[in-house]
């Protein structure tokens, strides 16, 4: 891929590890100035050391208020990768309020509020920005022990479409990337269970997990001007899981 993001400012939430880390590295490698957000300072500081002129580390909780204030003061923000998210798999009847609130707060409420803050900056500064939400194949289908996660990712799919329609006149594109299972710190404990891994592999026609690179490529495409006519779309990176 040849996208050049020079002179662009990109904010990536959950940039310390996993998919967000891959997105932050790819954006910085292709010239963007990246604001990397995570709660663990060590992960994002290490990233900032690798790209000293390009990455600024914001040690912040995506669910808090401070990130909104920092975004409001950001200059030139043109890309938002709304990536921070989590899962606590539980059987539907066993879902406890802590898990319910955790996922609603991070996967939906924080994603909404951060988008809102970013869009205010883009419209105020007349920037034709691009927003990419990290959804999931679970935003398209259901799966056992994932009622809350599926609910939150379906919410992100709805948010993507509604934002896309409303913000198109401002030149702001809004899309989602919907991966199947990728081995990251989030999913490693799940995939370490051989029975669960077999369940997953049996449902992916391409017979492999997605790599972080597979997902990053999709995010970079949607963030870039190559996808200039694409808005309100959810790009499945699922090896065919949802095609069945």
Ligand X SMILES: NC(=O)c1ccc[n+]([C@@H]2O[C@H](COP(=O)([O-])OP(=O)(O)OC[C@H]3O[C@@H](n4cnc5c(N)ncnc54)[C@H](OP(=O)(O)O)[C@@H]3O)[C@@H](O)[C@H]2O)c1
Of 59 and 170, CB closest to ligand X: 59
Q: SS3 sequence, the chain?
A: CCCCCCCCEEEEECCCCHHHHHHHHHHHHCCCEEEEEECCHHHHHHHHHHCCCCEEEEECCCCCCHHHHHHHCCCCEEEEEECCCCCCCCCHHHCCHHHHHHHHHHHHHHHHHHHHHHHHHHHHCCCCCEEEEECCHHHCCCCCCCHHHHHHHHHHHHHHHHHHHHHHHHCCEEEEEEECCECCCCCHHHHCCHHHHHHHHHHCCCCCCECHHHHHHHHHHHHCHHHCCCCCCEEEECCCHHHC
Name the site residues for ligand X (rule: CB under 6 A).
13-14, 16-20, 37-40, 43, 61-63, 83-86, 106, 134, 136, 179, 181-182, 184-187
Least distance (Å) between residue 124 CB and ligand X: 24
Left if phi > 0, otherwise alpha if psi is -120 to 50, otherwise beta: which for 18?
Answer: left
Of 185 and 205, CB closest to ligand X: 185
Of 9 and 12, CB closest to ligand X: 12
Least distance (Å) between residue 211 CB and ligand X: 11
Least distance (Å) between residue 169 CB and ligand X: 28
Of 179 and 239, CB closest to ligand X: 179
Of 17 and 197, CB closest to ligand X: 17
Least distance (Å) between residue 41 CB and ligand X: 8
Report yes or no: 15 and 34 within 8 Å, Cβ to Cβ. Answer: yes
Of 127 and 148, CB closest to ligand X: 148
Q: How far apart are CA 234 and CA 223, in angstroms?
A: 13
The answer for residues whose C-beta is within 8 angstroms of residue 193's C-beta and 6 or more apart is: none
Least distance (Å) between residue 103 CB and ligand X: 9
Q: How far apart are CA 13 and CA 83, in angstroms?
A: 5
Least distance (Å) between residue 229 CB and ligand X: 25
Q: Annotated catalytic sites, by residue?
A: 149, 153
């Amino acid at each position: 891929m040849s996208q050049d993001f020079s002179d662009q400012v990109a904010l990536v939430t959950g940039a310390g590890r996993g998919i967000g880390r891959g997105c932050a590295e790819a954006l910085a490698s292709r010239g963007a100035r990246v604001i990397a957000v995570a709660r663990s300072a060590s992960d994002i500081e290490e990233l900032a050391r690798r790209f000293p002129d390009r990455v600024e580390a914001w040690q912040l909780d995506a669910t808090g208020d401070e990130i909104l204030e920092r975004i409001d003061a950001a200059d030139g923000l043109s890309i938002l990768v709304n990536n921070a998210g989590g899962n606590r798999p539980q059987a539907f009847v066993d879902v406890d309020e802590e898990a319910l609130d955790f996922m609603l707060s991070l996967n939906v409420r924080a994603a909404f509020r951060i988008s809102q803050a970013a869009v205010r900056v883009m419209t105020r500064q007349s920037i034709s920005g691009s927003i990419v939400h990290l959804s999931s194949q679970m935003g398209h289908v259901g799966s056992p022990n994932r009622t809350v996660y599926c609910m939150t990712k379906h919410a992100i799919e709805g948010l993507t479409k509604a934002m896309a329609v409303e913000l198109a006149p401002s030149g702001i594109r809004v899309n989602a990337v919907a991966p199947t299972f990728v081995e990251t710190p989030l999913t490693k404990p799940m995939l370490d269970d051989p029975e669960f891994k077999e369940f997953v592999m049996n449902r992916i026609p391409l017979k492999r997990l997605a790599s972080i690179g597979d997902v990053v490529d999709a995010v970079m495409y949607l963030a870039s001007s190559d996808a200039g006519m694409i808005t309100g779309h959810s790009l499945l990176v699922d090896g065919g899981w949802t095609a069945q």
